Every structure is written in C-alpha cells, then in structure tokens.
Amino acid sequence: MSNAATTTAIEAVGLWKYFGTRAAVVDVTLAVQPGECFGLLGPNGAGKTTTIKMITCTATPSSGTLRVFGLPVVASNHRVLKARLGIVQQEESLDPDLSVEQNLTVYASYFGISHREAARAAERLMAFAEVSERRRDRIRTLSGGMKRRLMLARALINEPALLVLDEPTIGLDPQARRLVWERIRSLRRQGITIVLTTHYMEEAAQLCDRLVIMDEGRIIAEGRPSDLIATHVGAEVIEVYLSDAQGTDVALEGRLRSGPWQAERVGQVLYLYVKHGHVEPAALARLAGLEFAQRRATLEDVFLRLTGHALRE
C-alpha cells in the first residue's frame, strides 16, 4: 500500500446504486485528494447520502469501482477502512443513556482504543466541541448545536484520515451553524481530508475547496466554488421583481433582456446574470421605476441555473 499522503483519498469510477428499479446514484465518478475539503451539493434526494453511504461501507454499489485510501471498498476491507474513517451521520445518534463524556469514551472502545487513551482523547475533544462543562450531563439536556459538535467530536476519536460529514449543520440556527463551520474549518487547517454533503449553498461555498453538484443521482457540475460561479453564472445577479402588469408587458421584458447580461424569467422574477465585472449605471438606467436587487452571484445561482427553478419533491 502506498503512502497515505500521496494516495487518492477517495476514487469512484462509474458508480451506480439501484434501489429496486430506481437509480439513486447514476454513473458517479469523482476523486478526492488528501487534505482537501470536498463537497457534495444538491437537493434532497440527489443521491448525496447514498454516495456517502457507499464510501462509508453502509451501502453496496450496484456497479462501478470505489476505492478509499487505495483500498477497494468491499466487505473484507470494511473493518480496516472504518478504522480510518470518522463519520457524522445526518441523524442524531448520540447515546441517550450515557453522559457526554461516556459518549466519547464508549465510542472510543468500539475502535479498540485503550481506556486511558480514550479518557485523554475525550478530554481534548470535549474542549474542541466546547462541551467540557457538560461532561456529566445527559444528551437530551444539550442544545442542538452542542449535540452536533459532540457528534463531530465523537467522529474524531480515532484520529481519522478521512472525515465524512452528512449534512453537518442540518436543523441548526444561524449561530450554532457558524460555530460548527468554525470547528470544521479548524479541522481543515489541520489538514484532515473532509467530505461533506449539504444542501446549503452557503455552507458549501464557505467550507469546500472543491465540490460536485448532484441532481437526480448524477454529477452535473464540478469545480471550485468560485470557478463554478464564474463559469455558470458570472459576477453579478440582478433580480427584477415584476408586478402582475409588468409581468405581461412583452415590450418591457424585451427591453430588459437586451442588456449586458443573460436573462432568465422565473414566475414574476427576471434574473439578469452579469458575466463580467460590474454593471455600468447607464445599463442600470433601463431598470428605472422597477423594483430590483443587485448582488454578487452565488453558488445558489449556479445550482438554480443548472437544475432549473422547478420545485423538487
């Protein structure tokens, strides 16, 4: 086996997963390099979690090849692979009958970590998760943010070479979310390879070096967040909110569309995507009298442009 520092952390080629006749993951090919924070972005049901489950040995690919740390992900390698993974699942799975501290030490025991070493690691990780003062408390007394941070800390108990986070901030309020992001960023600085799924565009933009956008089981775009925005949207977006009367005014829409931008109409909103730089006041003059907002392009624009604005359910 080659050195961990040079081996591709995850290498998936032509990965498919069927549930019955429904394809949840369709021909996914991706590679994650060591030290990278890699994101899988997409709406609910896009196949992110199924992809993650195949990587973490809890779903078997229907076809394709999958290697983690250069090892094929097959039953005989599960034990070895899982010893090097840190996994935070989407559903809260802390042990309600155990204290905060025991949640860490008992989890350490599953990895065969000695009692003394587990106690030391638990101390360090409680500080990391900022729950040291709550060490004797039961899980149900913790806030949602604390539970998430403790889940993250628990996944670090075996000093994993690859950390896999499935929707790490789902259901958290903005403050708690930022605190989790901050913890993930500190892990990134330490050089831990991270794979995360999210349907929050801002989360992906904040944390990921590189990401894929998935929709209906497929990868529909791949790249750095800034490159994806530049390629698929541009620099700026102007959202024009049309009244009912303006919405049926064909001449008005024609006039608006003919600017230094690409236009897309969704309901009563006209999106104007500005490829380069900033729009000159002269160009903006044609928007006089209309309600509009001008802002920087985001990953959310990339996502909506690629997948369409139709509601996904």
What angle separates helix 100-110 from helix 144-155, to the nearest 10 degrees?
A: 30
Under the binding rule (CB under 8 A), the answer on residue 185 touching other proteins is no
Write phi, then psi, for 206 (nearest 5 degrees).
-70, -40
Among 10, 32, 53, 225, binds other proteins (CB under 8 A): 53
Contact segment (CB under 8 A) with other proteins among 37-45, 53-61, 174-182, 217-225 equals 53-61
230: tokens are: 């530049």
Contact segment (CB under 8 A) with other proteins among 75-83, 176-184, 228-236, 294-302 equals 75-83
Under the binding rule (CB under 8 A), the answer on residue 149 touching other proteins is no
Torsion of CA 123, 113, 105, 192, to 10 degrees: 60
Distance of alpha carbon 265 from alpha carbon 42, whole angstroms: 22
What angle separates helix 225-232 from helix 299-307, to the nearest 10 degrees?
A: 50
107: tokens are: 């989890």
Among 19, 249, 260, 296, binds other proteins (CB under 8 A): 19
Distance of alpha carbon 74 from alpha carbon 54, whole angstroms: 10
- Measured from the CB atom, is 95 or 227 closer to other proteins? 95
Under the binding rule (CB under 8 A), the answer on residue 58 touching other proteins is yes
Compute the radius of gyration of the chain from its Cα atoms. 23
Give the number of residues in contact with other proteins, rule: CB under 8 A: 34
Contact segment (CB under 8 A) with other proteins among 57-65, 117-125, 234-242, 267-275 equals 57-65
- Measured from the CB atom, is 12 or 299 closer to other proteins? 12
- Measured from the CB atom, is 75 or 282 closer to other proteins? 75
Under the binding rule (CB under 8 A), the answer on residue 197 touching other proteins is no
- Measured from the CB atom, is 166 or 236 closer to other proteins? 166
List CB contacts of 109: < 8 A, sequence separation 6 or more. Answer: 115, 118
Question: C-alpha distances in angstroms, 76 versus 14, 72, 79, 81?
Answer: 21, 9, 7, 10
Under the binding rule (CB under 8 A), the answer on residue 109 touching other proteins is yes
Site residues, other proteins (CB under 8 A): 17, 19, 50, 53, 56, 58-60, 75, 78-80, 82-83, 85, 87, 89, 91-98, 102, 106-107, 109-112, 155, 158
